Amino acid sequence: MKQIIALGGGGFSMEPENPLLDLYILKQSLKELPKICFIPTASGDSQSYTEQFYEFFNQQNCEPTHLSLFKPPVKDLERFVLEQDILYVGGGNTKNLLALWREWGLDGIIRKAWEQGVVLAGISAGSICWFEEGVTDSFSEDLEPIKALGFLAGSNCPHYDGEENRRPTYRRLVEEQKLQAGIAADDGVALHYVDQELTEIVSSRSNAKAYRVSFDGEIKEAELPTKFLGIVENF
């Protein structure tokens, strides 16, 4: 079974007091003590980001580690990656992530891991990278299209409600056919793909949603069923 969990936002770095999405990711490995590896390439292997990862996951039932391409933990990256149960890709610059992964051959190693059942997860740049295309601010302050790994079909837009320019820009790029149709996710939303099919959408916030955005003579945006992982309080 091949799994990818793509976060529009949230998780330990954005919602440190709200563990719902990260706990959901851990459960998908079906291991009692999953080995979870953080890959912070997109942030330039930010030390503070990596420390945030350990601060959260050291408190969970798992074995956390990380993979730096600036200070590789081992020479045999393939063996190291294939020993993991979950790969969790951090946010940052999508273009730099893709360039460095390709230079090191990590893109191919991660594809092999995915095909062997290692759960792939990630936020923002770590969400966009799995799709054929996405919308990114990697090139400048402006949002632009980017070609990604293509593990999943179509395009992706994270932070759909978290950054004011994301929604109008993504809609415009799809309408102008500069991006394929795809899935947009609010902050706090995770898109769970099994064998390249979107099987479940979950959220850490009761009002956070995902949307299918397409163009068929006119731009269309369809809200998708989203399962809130917390408890809805009625007053």
Active site residues: 124, 159
DSSP letter for each residue of 72-88:
-S-S-HHHHHHT-SEEE
Token readout for 202 is: 């979950």
Give Cβ neighbours of residue 85 (< 8 Å, ≥ 6 apart). Answer: 29, 31, 34, 35, 36, 118, 119
Rounded Cα distance, 194 and 177, in Å: 27
At residue 21, the 3 state secondary structure works out as: helix
φ and ψ of 147, to 5 deg: -85, 135
